[in-house]
Amino acid sequence: MSRDTAEILKEALALPAEARAALADSLLDSLDVEVDEDAEAAWQREIQRRVAELDSKTVPPIPWSEVRSRLMATLRNER
């Protein structure tokens, strides 16, 4: 008997955050996608650079609520 994808998703979204993260990680691993090591290293450098900027207060942090509002406005304007 096959379960509907929407039903599985609904159940997965009801899991605690840690369990959802583990499930997402397992699903991504199951895709057998080749990892570009150069891209991974570049992302690590970028993350370190951004964290350093935040730590040194070179750039101000932006609250998620503001970022989300800006993104939603951008998406609305693209339609």
Of residues 79 and 28, more confidence is placed in 28
69 located within any domain: yes
29 token code pair: 């691993």
46 located within any domain: yes
Assess contact for 62 and 53: CB atoms under 8 A: no
pLDDT at 38 over 70: yes
Which pLDDT score, from 0 to 100, does residue 2 have? 66
Q: How confident is the model at residue 34 (pLDDT cuts 50, 70, 90)?
A: confident
Domain around 59 = 37-78
pLDDT at 33 over 50: yes
Q: What is the mean pLDDT of the chain?
A: 91
12 located within any domain: no
How far, CA to CA in Å, does 46 sit from each of 39, 43, 49, 68? 10, 5, 5, 22
pTM of this prediction exceeds 0.75: no
Angle formed at CA 35 by CA 10 and CA 13, multiple of 5 degrees? 10
Total of domains in the chain: 1
22 located within any domain: no
Assess contact for 12 and 23: CB atoms under 8 A: yes
